[in-house]
Amino acid sequence: MFSGRKAIFAVVGASLTAGCGAAPLARTADRTTTQSGVDAVLASATSGSPTRTFVLDNVSLTVTTAYLPAVAFVAAVPGDTTQMASASQPTPYRELSVTAVAAGTRAASEKALPLSSPGGDAAYRAGLHGVRSAQGASFSAGPVAYLFGQAVQGELSVVSLALHAKGLWPTAVVEWVAELGGRQWIVRAAEELSGDPTSQRMQEQRLAQSVRGLSISATGAERPTTVGQVSAGVDTSITDGGVFLAGRAQSSPGATLAAAGTGYVVGTDNGSGRVRLATANQVPMPSWWKGSQCDDAYHFAASGVHTAAIGPAWMGLVPCGPPHPDTGVGFGGGGALEFECVELSMRWLYQEYGQNTYPANGSEVVANYPGKRLQKVSNGSGSAPAPGDVMSFGATSTNGHTAVVTDVHFSDATKGDGTVIVLAENAGGNGYASQNMVGWVVQAGIPITGWLHDPTDPQGYWLTGSDGGIFPYGFAAGYGTLGNLRLNQPIVGMAATPDGSGNWLVAADGGIFPFGSAGGYGSTGAIHLNKPIVGMAATPDGRGYWLVASDGGIFPFGNAGGYGSTGGIHLNQPIVGMTGTPDGRGYWLVASDGGIFPFGDAAGYGSTGGIHLNQPIVGMAATHDGGGYWLVARDGGMFPFGPAAAGYGSAAGVATAAVVGIAATADGRGYWVVSKDGNVYPYGDARDYGGAKSIRLSSPIVGIASFG
């Protein structure tokens, strides 16, 4: 029976009545109502209302309603374990959704409901009522909807739900259940409530009035369900962890965004003008699996069912299945059910971020997060998710869904349009799913509420052209550019402060141009040089730098020490670059034939000085611990030296133009190679943050500098 509130409407539709406490839960219309009477009411209620058509679980649906939170419905792909379509907006939250549950199945997002079965409508209505009651809802008789030719009365509940990333929000939810084509159909309209109790009551009434007379018709209901069919899922060749940004286009006060709107965007961290985001690490096989992939030995012993990977791993995170029967497993001070969607997200949170497991359905993984390291970000808040983030879906469903973000790729970074790839268990296919992002809103059949985001350990890089144009990528901010300044000599290189808060450009005459927090400690701009400057390197704390000339002459400024040079040595080939040691007490110089000249505490691990090269060496980068370095040739050929420098890949035969530089990742387990046309080639754990290949450059790219 209805309880807790009086019915909003004493009379709903023509002769259909639903007084407070006078009707069974969400009952259908009075059986004495004739079909012609229903048709007449339907025509009257929906006259002039928008109509939307889409396909869900092999059935073509037409929805006619005055309540349409979004322009179009986003529907699940065939084979998904939750066949749901929704039109929703995240802020303020509004949703209209349709869920199809085939006989003998249970939607993954509706685990609190029984298996669908012929005549199971009453059980579904009771189940929904029980869920809302357990959530502390108050109830009213809802308006009538016309579902597949039947007049179906809904139930309106007011309940607190995790509509956004942080906390619970008062929500009005109207739910209807109908049966067609061997499926139970759950239809929901939901809206976030705000203001005082009187205002909220008025909003409830407006919602009920807006959905009054909602109708859904169907064709092809006899077609078989797609749930359980073999689905390839998303092409995992694109799930390389690539991401182009983490926030809206902003910059620090007084700074200029170079090339704004040309394929990258810069975000902020508490107004600092910097984007911050963790780079996901490769996680090992979970220790509690005891060497058995997907915990197969344990799962089989407990349930008699074998488990296996349903798709390829991402950063060591393996999606496993099947999800049934649920088998509890302990880890992280708690546990999870193998292999439901929550298990994958909790496993990732525990292994990647050290977060112990905590109570949550899929829809609550973000809102219930008890830790302090990760930020709770609401969908539609003006930023994009990033690889390693954990998402929650389906705030209004009984259980919801959760997934781990593996990729973010932009089609228009200035508008916030692109594609987000996620990995999940108990979702269908190979575990990977592709979702559109439009205007910074990530869209899915099950509405997304938000994600957990790591704000630490940012990485990124800048490219520079010979005219001083600067192009930031990843989490590098735009602090300025020389693109419109007339230079005495062209720019030949750049360096960055260790924390990424600034950078320097250096010209062939040694002129120094600092940006952001980078200090100007001196230059050779007014000094007569025997040979032109060809590169620079910053000290570890960013309070100094070295310039190097093509004859190996060294010019230290700030707190940079002078440890030696090749200025007085006859060189077989000119010096083309340098890099400093981790403690700043030494540096390496490299010549175009790959000859290495170590000074200070820099160790010599080898060179290509005695090797015949197809193309000359153009740059070098060192590992984070100084235990090795890489040399890169103009054709992209890579030459690693030292025990810490692994060969992660080469741009030889791949580069679209002459290679001009290399920069290492923060942990030394990868590097970026850049060609003069602005293409960037990531290797190892280097993220694909993008490049300037699609930009019409006014001068060739001559260098790259990274931070992190």
Confidence at 484, pLDDT banded by 50, 70, 90? confident
On whether the CB atoms of residues 95 and 188 are closer than 8 A, the answer is: yes
The H or E element containing residue 177 is strand 169-180
Query: CA torsion angle for 619, 620, 621, 622 (degrees, to 10)?
Result: -170
- Tell me the mean pLDDT in the region 189-207: 96
Render pLDDT for 324-346 as a digit per residue (tens, 0 to 9).
888 999 999 999 999 999 999 99
CA quadruple 241, 247, 252, 258: dihedral sign: positive
Amino acid in the structure at residue 386: A
Given pLDDT bands bounded at 50, 70 and 90, which one contains residue 257?
very low
What local confidence, expressed as pLDDT, does residue 237 receive?
Answer: 52
Please give the structure tokens belonging to residue 624.
Answer: 């984070």
How does residue 545 score in pLDDT terms, banded at 50, 70 and 90? very high
Q: What is the DSSP secondary structure assignment for residue 293, as one 8-state letter? A: G
Give 315 or 164, the one with higher predicted confidence.
164
What is the distance between the alpha carbons of residues 149 and 555, in angstroms, rounded to a whole number? 84
199-209, pLDDT tens digit by residue?
999 999 999 99
Could you please report the per-residue DSSP string of 585-614? SEEEEEETT--EEEEET------STTS--S
pLDDT surpassing 80 at residue 40: no
Q: Decide: helix, strand or coil at residue 206.
A: helix
When pLDDT is averaged across residues 438-467 and rounded to a whole number, the result is 89
pLDDT score recorded for residue 235? 62
Q: Average the pLDDT over 633-660 and give the result.
A: 96
How far is 422 from 319, CA to CA, in rounded Å? 11
pLDDT for res 35: 38
Q: What is the mean pLDDT of the chain?
A: 85
Strands (E), 615-687: 617-622, 629-633, 638-641, 659-664, 670-675, 680-684
Percent of the chain with pLDDT over 70: 85
Residue 39 has pLDDT above 90, yes or no: no
Count how many Cα atoms sit within 13 Å of the Cα of residue 529 in the half-sphere of its side chain. 23
**pLDDT computed for residue 567 by the predictor:** 86
What does the pLDDT read at residue 269? 30
Dihedral over Cα of 640, 643, 644, 648: its sign: positive
∠ CA(153), CA(154), CA(156), 5° rounding? 145
- Residue 570, Cβ neighbours under 10 Å: how many? 6
Question: Is the pLDDT assigned to residue 529 strictly greater than 60?
Answer: yes
- For residues 356 and 372, is the Cβ–Cβ distance under 8 A? no
